Chains A and B, each alone.
Chain A
Amino acid sequence: EAGVTQFPSHSVIEKGQTVTLRCDPISGHDNLYWYRRVMGKEIKFLLHFVKESKQDESGMPNNRFLAERTGGTYSTLKVQPAELEDSGVYFCASSQIREGETQYFGPGTRLLVL
Chain B
Amino acid sequence: RKEVEQDPGPFNVPEGATVAFNCTYSNSASQSFFWYRQDCRKEPKLLMSVYSSGNEDGRFTAQLNRASQYISLLIRDSKLSDSATYLCVVARGSSASKIIFGSGTRLSIRP
Complex formed: what's the CA distance from A44 to B87 in Å? 12
> In the complex, how many residue pairs between chain A and chain B have their CB atoms under 8 Å apart?
49
Residues of chain B with a CB closer than 8 A to A106's CB: 43
Residues of chain B with a CB closer than 8 A to A104's CB: 46
| Interface residue total, chain A, C-beta cutoff 8 A | 22
Residues of chain A with a CB closer than 8 A to B45's CB: 105
Among A69-77, A79-87, A95-103, which stretch is in contact with chain B?
A: A95-103
Consensus secondary structure, chain A interface: strand
User: B43 contacts which of A48, A100, A108 (Cβ < 8 Å)?
Assistant: A108
Residues of chain B with a CB closer than 8 A to A91's CB: 43-44
Complex formed: what's the CA distance from A105 to B42 in Å? 10
User: A100 contacts which of B4, B87, B91, B102 (Cβ < 8 Å)?
Assistant: B91
Asked if A42 meets B102 with Cβ closer than 8 Å, knowing A100-B91, A108-B43, the reply is yes
Q: Which residues of B contact A (CB under 8 A)?
A: 2, 4, 31-32, 42-46, 49, 87, 91, 93-104
